[in-house]
Amino acid sequence: MREEEDYTEEENEELYEHHRIEADAGQKPLRVDKFLQNLLKNTSRNKIQQSAAAGNIRVNEQIVKSNYKVKAGDIVQVVLSYPPREVELVPQNIPLNILYQDQDVIVVHKEPGMVVHPGYGNHDGTMVNALLYHFQNLPGLNKERPGLVHRLDRDTSGIMVIAANERSMAHLANQFFERSTERTYHALVWGNVEEEEGTITGNIGRSPKNRKIYQVYEGDEFGKHAVTHYKVVERLGYVTLVECKLETGRTHQIRVHMKHIGHTLFNDKEYGGDKILKGTTFTKYKQFVENCFSICPRQALHAKTLGFEHPTTGERLSFNSQLPEDMQSLVDKWRNYSHYQSKD
């Protein structure tokens, strides 16, 4: 029996567990839900059946129901939500900006600086702690990451969808896995982006020199395949406002891809964007940029839109949000500066 597992739980990546199992030559016919239950530790048959109901189990590339009989040589693939863990979570009365909710999904606008779920150095005060308080009657909230099917970096603002039940979680996780969601971001980047629009393709993996950041690897030998489409929204002299559309959802994808083409996100401390990368060396300009850093003390990145299929109705839902105050003020300040410079 051969199994390959792709479990991602990095920032800005899908939160799912993808198993690929090849039934060995001696495999006797067995229901696929039972087959998977025997192999996947700490995974209930009910959870596997939920995945089957959401169309997340495939055998030989074909979607199957939970009663399908696995045979020798079959290639079985299943997408599950992240594995449950024993962890104590404390509900906290933290305000959430809820854009939409029903019995299946909750759409929120995450504020910059909010950590999505507890982790090293962030044991509480997270979105998960807030979810536990505001939606304490939702099923499955004893897990470490209730309802999460994707994430945003702590300092990235914008729209997220939360699954309100196990079936919705399986359905949404599959949409992220199949890349059928639509996600666009607005980013302020250093430099005047030459092309009006373009596509960045390059495998992304951890940097061998600094495990906290990522980089683009040439070729396919290292990292994970990543594709970002971008277009210019507004040129502001030494910086450019761009829209990025994700085809994949790798850790720090926009931050890494834009740096790769020479346009690091403004004030992105981990990737060097908190230094003056473009412009003059005059004292007044330096003071202007430092004031801009103070206005938006984070990477200038906002998850502006999110579109997905409703897990129950099948309706296509789409949500759009305005830039948060800090990033809007930053853009306005650069716009005024650019206008002033063009008159000189």
Tens digits of residue pLDDT in 75-126: 998 887 654 444 567 888 999 999 999 999 999 999 999 988 776 556 678 8
- Residue range 311-325: mean pLDDT, rounded: 96
227 close to 199: Cβ distance less than 8 angstroms: yes
Task: Answer with the residue of higher pLDDT: 104 or 136.
Answer: 104
Higher pLDDT, 134 or 221: 134
Residue among 33, 74, 153, 268 flagged as catalytic:
153
Q: Is the pLDDT of residue 278 over 80?
A: yes
> What pLDDT was estimated at residue 199?
98
Rounded average pLDDT over 300-317: 97
Angle, to 10 degrees, between the axis of helix 283-295 and the axis of helix 325-343? Answer: 160
What pTM does this model have? 0.75
- String of b and e for 295-305 (b: at least 16 CB within 10 Å)? bbebbbbbbbb
For residue 342, what pLDDT is reported?
A: 60
DSSP for 254-319, please give it: HHHHHHHTT-PBTT-GGGTTTS--SS---HHHHHHHHHHHHHS-S--EEEEEEEEE-TTT-PEEEE
Provide the b/e sequence for 260-292 (b: ≥16 CB within 10 Å): bbebbbbbbebbebbebbbbeeeeeeeebbeeb
Residue 33 pLDDT class (50, 70, 90 cuts): very high
Higher pLDDT, 200 or 54: 200
Give the pLDDT score at 3.
Answer: 45
Q: How confident is the model at residue 310 (pLDDT cuts 50, 70, 90)?
A: very high
Answer yes or no: are the C-beta atoms of 32 and 70 closer than 8 Å: yes
**Among the listed residues 149, 74, 97, the one whose alpha carbon sits nearest the alpha carbon of residue 319:** 97
* Residue of 117 and 8 predicted with greater confidence: 117
pLDDT of 344 strictly over 60: no
Query: Is 344 one of the annotated active-site residues of the chain?
Result: no
Listed in sequence order, the residues at least 6 apart from 227 whose beta carbon sits closer than 8 Å to its beta carbon are 199, 200, 201, 246, 247, 248
Mean pLDDT of all residues in the chain?
86
- In sequence order, the 6+-apart residues with CB closer than 8 A to the CB of 318 are 182, 305, 306, 307
User: What type of residue sits at position 104?
Assistant: D
Do you know the residue count of the chain?
344
Work out the angle at residue 226's Cα, subtended by the Cα atoms of residues 191 and 271, and round it to the nearest 5 degrees: 40
Predicted local confidence at residue 13, as pLDDT: 44
Q: Which residues contact 182 (CB under 8 A, 6 or more apart)?
A: 245, 305, 306, 307, 308, 318
Q: Which is higher by pLDDT, 49 or 199? A: 199
Task: Determine phi and psi for 178, rounding to 5 degrees.
Answer: -80, -5
DSSP state of 340: H
pLDDT for residue 81: 61
The pLDDT of residue 294 is: 97
**C-alpha angle 238-242-244 in degrees, rounded to nearest 5:** 145
* Residue ranges of domains in the chain, CATH in brackets: 2-81 (3.10.290.10), 97-178 (3.30.2350.10), 182-343 (3.30.2350.10)
Question: What's the rounded Cα separation, in Å, for the pair 2 and 21?
Answer: 6
How far apart, in Å, are the Cα atoms of 226 and each of 202, 247, 276? 6, 7, 28
pLDDT digits (tens, 9 = 90+) for 9-32: 334 444 566 788 999 888 999 999
Average pLDDT over residues 131-149: 70
Residue 339 has pLDDT above 50, yes or no: yes
pLDDT at 144: 61
